[in-house]
């Protein structure tokens, strides 16, 4: 199995001299099974360069798994180049949102409106299919078993576990470990904590023993208190998940758009100092645009 990072920034694309090394595109990850099935995690702006790389292997069936509908995870979708070439298939997977009452098709329909994009859905040349997924229920994509899990974010948000040929990867999407909304002295605190603990146990089980964990590590521990409730994790929470789940490798991603390459190196160096690797611990890395990892 192979994972390749095409976009590792959170919130908004951030090209420029300060982000050349880690890249400025928003979330998009290519996963290839050993059978060369194409699975794409999220469709941020990084899906545009990815889609250009596919032009040598047309026709393609692209299985896109959308974690959630925030712009930085869907914005590249209208410009997925194979959409404009007959013979290709785009199979879009994602969640049902109880507030809007819509499935994953909404992700496309909001973007392909005349006022925002010149091409309407009916005019796309590729075959477009929508698969609205149910959390905890696995689907099969060729040799790969995909299971969505409910994560914690201001909108309905899936993490995905992908397993194929004995190898596995888990991508959290955007995720904040659910905080307890009560104060320790509140009577509801301990009951709420029991829900949080059950949720954490579910998440850890979903990640259990993966070869690769790719996790939202937007903030440092020091930055987090000012961003509580925004739906993102820290380097420390990602490391904790990776350790407790027994992951072999952790890629920290969803880098803050305002964090320069140098600043990113700096905070990560500090993180590694605070979490010295013991025998059996996962390997910790920063996700970097263009990097791929085969296992």
Q: Which residue is closest to Zn ion by CB?
A: 70
Compute the least distance from the CB of residue 11 to Zn ion, in Å: 6
216 binds, among another protein, Zn ion, none (CB under 5 to 8 A by kind): none
CB 217 within 8 A of CB 235: yes
Binding to Zn ion, residues 55-114 (CB under 5 A): 70, 72
Compute the least distance from the CB of residue 50 to another protein, in Å: 29
Residues 83 and 232: their CA atoms lie apart, in Å, by 31
Kindly compute the dihedral angle of the four CA atoms of residues 50, 51, 52, 54, in this order, to the nearest 10 degrees.
100
Say how many C-beta atoms besides its own lie within 10 A of residue 78's C-beta.
Answer: 19
Smaller CB distance to another protein: residue 99 or 273?
99
35 binds, among another protein, Zn ion, none (CB under 5 to 8 A by kind): none
Query: How many residues are there in the chain?
Result: 295
Compute the least distance from the CB of residue 56 to another protein, in Å: 37
272 binds, among Zn ion, another protein, none (CB under 5 to 8 A by kind): none
Backbone angles phi, psi at 20, to 5 degrees: -65, -40
| Binding piece for Zn ion, criterion CB under 5 A, among 9-17, 77-85, 193-201, 277-285 | 9-17
Q: Edge-to-edge strands of the sheet including 89-94?
A: 127-132, 89-94, 61-65, 38-41, 28-32, 2-7, 292-294
CB 176 within 8 A of CB 153: yes
96 binds, among another protein, Zn ion, none (CB under 5 to 8 A by kind): another protein
Smaller CB distance to another protein: residue 66 or 271?
66
Work out whether strand 144-150 and strand 158-164 pair parallel, antiparallel, or are unpaired: antiparallel
Give start and end residues of each alpha helix (H) in 76-168.
Answer: 105-111
CA nearest neighbour of 107 among 96, 119, 115: 96
Say how many C-beta atoms besides its own lie within 10 A of residue 112's C-beta.
Answer: 20
136 binds, among Zn ion, another protein, none (CB under 5 to 8 A by kind): another protein
Smaller CB distance to Zn ion: residue 4 or 70?
70
Smaller CB distance to another protein: residue 191 or 274?
191
Contact with Zn ion (CB under 5 A) among 3, 9, 10, 268: 10
Contact string (CB under 5 A) for Zn ion, positions 112-141, x = contact: ------------------------------
Residues 6+ apart with CB under 8 A from 147: 136, 137, 138, 139, 160, 161, 163, 206
| Radius of gyration, CA atoms only, the chain | 19
188 binds, among Zn ion, another protein, none (CB under 5 to 8 A by kind): another protein
10 binds, among another protein, Zn ion, none (CB under 5 to 8 A by kind): Zn ion
Compute the least distance from the CB of residue 136 to another protein, in Å: 5
By CB under 5 A, how many residues form the interface with Zn ion? 4
Work out whether strand 158-164 and strand 167-171 pair parallel, antiparallel, or are unpaired: antiparallel
Interface ranges with another protein (CB under 8 A) = 96-102, 109, 113-115, 134-137, 150, 152-157, 178, 181-182, 186, 188, 191-192, 195-196, 198-199, 202, 229, 231
| Binding region for Zn ion (CB under 5 A) | 10, 70, 72, 174
């Amino acid at each position: 199995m192979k994972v390749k990072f095409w976009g590792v920034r959170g919130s908004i694309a951030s090209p420029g001299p300060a982000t050349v090394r880690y890249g400025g595109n928003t979330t998009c990850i290519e996963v290839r099974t050993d059978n060369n099935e194409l699975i794409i995690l999220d469709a941020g702006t990084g899906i545009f360069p990815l889609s250009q790389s596919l032009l040598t292997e047309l026709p393609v069936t692209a299985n896109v798994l959308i974690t959630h509908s925030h712009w930085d995870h869907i914005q590249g979708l209208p410009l997925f180049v194979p959409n404009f070439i007959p013979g290709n298939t785009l199979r879009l997977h994602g969640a049902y949102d109880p507030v809007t009452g819509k499935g994953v098709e909404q992700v496309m329909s909001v973007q392909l409106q005349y006022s925002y994009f010149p091409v309407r859905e009916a005019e796309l040349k590729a075959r477009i299919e929508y698969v609205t997924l149910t959390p905890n229920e696995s689907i099969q994509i060729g040799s790969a078993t995909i299971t969505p899990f409910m994560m914690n974010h201001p909108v309905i948000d899936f993490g995905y576990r992908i397993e194929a040929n004995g190898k596995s990867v888990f991508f959290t999407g955007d995720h904040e470990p659910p905080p307890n909304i009560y104060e320790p002295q509140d009577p509801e605190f301990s009951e709420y904590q029991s829900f949080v603990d059950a949720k954490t146990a579910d998440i850890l089980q979903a990640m259990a023993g993966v070869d690769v964990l790719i996790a939202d590590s937007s903030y440092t521990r020091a930055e987090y208190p000012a961003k509580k409730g925004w739906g993102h994790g820290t380097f420390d929470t990602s490391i904790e998940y990776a350790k407790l789940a027994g992951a072999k490798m952790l890629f920290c991603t969803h880098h803050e758009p305002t964090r320069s390459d140098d600043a990113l190196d700096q905070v990560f160096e500090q993180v590694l100092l605070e979490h010295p690797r013991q025998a059996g611990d996962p390997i910790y890395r920063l996700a970097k645009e263009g990097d791929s990892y085969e296992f």
